[in-house]
Amino acid sequence: MLKKLFTLSLMALTLMILSSTVRAQTIYFCEDVDRDGYAIHASDVFNISRDGGYLKVLVRLPYTLGCRSVSYEIYRNGDYDNTIYQDTERDWVWFYKEITFYKAGNFSIDVYDSYGTRLVTGYVKIQFY
């Protein structure tokens, strides 16, 4: 009887955990960002001209940022490409950066706070039209 009660309790706890809302950091690649911090025309594939093209990288957090700058470490096809820095405010819960791309490829972008903690990683494919 005790074993059955323990099993039922464990199952109930598991269901509660699975059904609770988990809020995590998110990254969006988009054409624009509205004034409330939501992505406009988000995608993970963008077409640019051979002269280059830009998109916005939006980061949304479930907490305040708590620092004065972030960095975007950019990797192209698995190789380091560039790091871009952005000044921020401690109370921000979302922020974005317009980034110009001149090469096609599969990009990963790691966003770090000024303490070196990775906030989020995102992946985007850039191709020429």
Residues 52-73: tens digit of each pLDDT: 999 999 999 999 999 999 999 9
What pLDDT shows up at residue 20? 38
Query: d(Cα 77, Cα 13) in Å, to the nearest integer?
Result: 42
CATH architecture of the region 23-128? Sandwich (2.60)
* Phi then psi dihedrals of residue 65, to 5 deg: -60, -45
Q: What is the pLDDT of residue 3?
A: 60
CA distance 82 to 29: 17
Domain chopping of the chain, boundaries: 23-128
Cβ-based neighbour number of residue 126 at 10 Å = 20
At residue 98, does pLDDT exceed 50?
A: yes
Average pLDDT over residues 20-36: 87
Report DSSP state, residue 8. Answer: H
Q: 28: Cβ–Cβ under 8 A, 6 or more apart, which residues?
A: 39, 42, 57, 58, 59, 60, 122
Query: Are 63 and 93 spatial neighbours (Cβ–Cβ below 8 Å)?
Result: yes
How many CB atoms sit inside 10 A of residue 60's CB? Answer: 18
SS3 content of the chain, % helix, strand, coil (to 5): 15, 55, 30
